[in-house]
Amino acid sequence: MNTTVIRGLQNLLQTATRALTDAGIPDGRREAETLIAHLLDCTRLALYRADLPSLDSDQEKTFSDLIRRRANREPLQYILGTQEFWGLEFRVTTDTLIPRPETEMLIEAVLEQWGPPALPITLVDLCTGTGCLAVTLATLYPTARILATDLSPGALDVARSNTSRHGMTGRIEFLEGDLLKPLASIRLQGQVDLILANPPYIPASELDRLQPEVGLYEPRLALDGGPDGLDFYRRIFPRAIEFLRPGGRLFLEVGIRQAIPVRAMAEQIGWRVDRIKKDLSGIDRVVVLEKP
């Protein structure tokens, strides 16, 4: 029976791989394996083991539904419901942007700044989305006070579920609203050590040219940065100055070719540029500013 099972699975995988490849997905084989492994709750490697149970007809139908969704270019992460960030698994839904590896540079930049945390610092994460930055920082800085804001109630639900998923319930104060606005009533003006944000930064004219996974499925609210993509930085700068203590830092993720204009805008209104960090593709990705 076992070799028959393997052959059956391999046939399914071959058909699925072809469907994904025809839909323009570069690594169709790996993704088909990932989806079938997800369904069988096993690793991709285990798909080649002789003692694997075969798919029953319901599972076969579910598998072909998942392949159809992926062939329609729905991101694999929305189908699986998760994405890894900084070694932790985060729940993702269409209410949230899917965490990107380059966003881990923000965590790296913060760690370079503060090293292992001794003091109880106050951090604010704007546009928290899945909460990947706030939750990761909660695990790294056990004594920090952490606040996170988002305009989207759906995203905040996901962020809260990621907080409990990683045992951080009670560590993060989630606030619904625009950027730093929800902090006004908490009286933190002049007291925040660190503000970080991965705001929407895609220029509006480029939204229709994004790859289908992004353009058709990820929330516009998390992508649209206005006519030149820089709207959010413009709005964050004056409010962040108000909330940071002198010497406090603002960590921003920026899009391709945005570091120079963001830096110029910041300097013009009195920020000191601390540093600009490149991502693994060599793109200037993180701008760190200091409130004088």
Strand partners, 90: 83
100 binds ligand GLN (CB under 6 A): yes
Closer CB to ligand GLN, 9 or 98, in the complex: 98
Contact characters 159-178, ligand GLN, x per CB under 6 A: --------------------
Q: Residues 130, 198, 244, 271: which binds ligand GLN (CB under 6 A)?
A: 198
Q: Which two tokens stand for residue 288?
A: 């760190």
Q: Which C-beta is closer to ligand GLN: that of 28 or that of 75?
A: 75
Q: Name residue, tokens 């609203």.
A: 177
Please tell me whether residue 214 binds ligand GLN under the rule CB under 6 A: yes
Binding ligand GLN (rule: CB under 6 A), the pick from 85, 90, 141, 201 is 201
Q: How many residues bind ligand GLN (CB under 6 A)?
A: 9
Structure tokens at 98: 């899917």
Name the helix (H) or strand (E) containing 6: helix 2-22
The CA-atom distances, in angstroms, between 58 and each of 7, 10, 49, 65, 113 are 19, 18, 22, 11, 52
Q: Is 200 in the site for ligand GLN (CB under 6 A)?
A: yes
Indicate whether 223 belongs to the interface with ligand GLN (CB under 6 A). yes
Helix (H) or strand (E) holding 213: helix 212-217
The angle at the Cα of 231, spanning 229 to 232, to the nearest 5 degrees, equals: 105
Cα(76)–Cα(234) distance, integer angstroms: 33
- Of 149 and 198, nearer to ligand GLN (C-beta) is 198
Token pair, residue 235, equals 């709005």
Residue of 202, 240, 250, 262 interacting with ligand GLN (CB under 6 A): 202
Residues that bind ligand GLN (CB under 6 A): 97, 100, 198-202, 214, 223
